[in-house]
Structure 1
């Protein structure tokens, strides 16, 4: 690899601004995915810090072709074992997104009140929770989804969005762009009442005009949860028999909806801040470890990326755990910690659920809390060689993407120049 002079590597501020203005995609002459190639190379570098060469897997083979699991398995042939503890770890992305999503203030549960007072508050506010409303759109949910997926979808993706459409911004659009860059014949369904609107259509329009298949659809929660353990939990929440907790209910509904949608239809769930770097085709029944110990044993799983067949038994166990252990007062308990608990028990009892635990390099190559330290433009020969080495380190293709959390968005925009250095140096290889 040869390095280019820094003055050659720095695009103009005008070019940088164009890269981030997704609203002008229709008018811009730059290809729609210029930002994606930019972000993909950048993420490969900043995520590389947590690369561990001797990662291990708990995997199963699918067919004779080389699957994504087998590709990742080249790091280590040993099983990825659990060493998770009951003590919460500050490695879970969900724990820092308390303010994310612009939840309506009047729908945020009051703090420092009793369980009874909170339930009474929820009963009063229940009519204002639009996601619980039944309408013509909710009644059409299943038929719209099936029709959408029934016309040439090579692979089906799901995202959820419970926040206002106006808060669906650059980061989320970038995630969709990256998805279609890697899967031009894939289909993306966004479960969202707010995005299933004129405003939402305008956000998706730049992608739709280029032939990509994205659909925002108002979910029918009663249909999604029917005939699952979540059905009773949902009824208890609606009737005020269950404490929704201090955490905004939208957060916990998102954790449950992603499980239910995959159980009903099968496919791939992605958080709206996940940047896709590689084709997911061939991957089945997989969940990613977010952290591992020095011996390659996983310490925490995450639910930002889930890949499962329809009616998979492990998904049923996840839903069952959500309904039976729901706690609306503990961040992460109903999300990342939930999947960790269930998988740990399944491995301990040797339950045969036919799934794969992928190492952090696949979906969570770096701890989100360490990302800000990587937003520094290399300004010495040593630092430039370090960047090149990190790119080579990940050239094996084991990384499928990464989470692009709220704090990173601010750094991404404010440090555009240094990120372009990484982008252009990668193309100089």
Structure 2
């Protein structure tokens, strides 16, 4: 039994839900309205936000600072190390080998992550007030300040970061920040979304505002679209084609009392923690977003992230939960015409390579490819015409440029004249 298959069996025992298919690499959570099948849970004291990369999850913990989890085995994540970074850590950004944490009155804390299991604090600076969120680009860190400010810190020397600018964005709290080219997007409560020109980081200036129905709390960006959570309404989807004039192209109302402090985007879905549940919102058509399902938890869900083909949710007291992502079009069942064609991988999960087997009942033309969890092309494995019979192709975990890809979930796709078949591939690291 493979790792994900055994995970699903454990989920059945723990949560009493019906078992998905053994080959599942995602779930349609609309099929689980009463009990969400989490894969695992790692207790922490007060998880707020997290970032996941290459089997490592970094968690901003409100009371403990930075917690680093080994999530290479999603069935049994392990807390490896806790780094005291000052209390009240709310947000983080992982860039290269450095992690930047927004830790309330402790300000900005910079951590060296070159050795993932032995992180070291490099430097810190407390600019002005209570830092709640951070994003980094180049030599500058941009922070949302709960005192209604937007702060800029020069991090070119991580051992001695220097606060260089602060801009008032309104009387209400600023709890999140996202970057879009030369602009920073800052949800500023009752002040709506502030668009700030940071083309000159030392002299940021207010460039535009998008008024919301209630308190703007969190924002995420995908290409030229911004996804904005509003406490009194729900989710707004904004076109940033002209950042000076953001335009709403779609919206999805939430139930009364639901609001999100974080968002994760992937596979045509937005994941929005809204208290004791996380909403799964189909945003494949930005003009018509729709709630697909709700993921039930046991505590306040604060942070959410996608990584390695999995979904991670930070619950304030219950800890970090690991789930399969919501199924989208990519991971639907194979076309009926290809169900008779054996497409399999052995071993799976694998490291460093796996053999892809497929059986064709008749000669055909086609292509065998590897895609990532978002459906993007990773590698071409074979291209026909193919003769009838069995073929075996090796994938060594590399892309078309010969680069080793990160560990996680991928999809091997076979397309022929008869149709399409897809199988998951789990690369271990």
Which TM-score bucket, shorter chain as reference?
under 0.3
Write 1 or 2 for the structure with the bigger share of helix. 1
Write 1 or 2 for the structure with the bigger share of strand. 2
Q: TM-score, normalised by structure 2?
A: 0.26
The higher-RCO structure (CA 8 Å, 6+ apart) is 1
Q: TM-score, normalised by structure 1?
A: 0.26
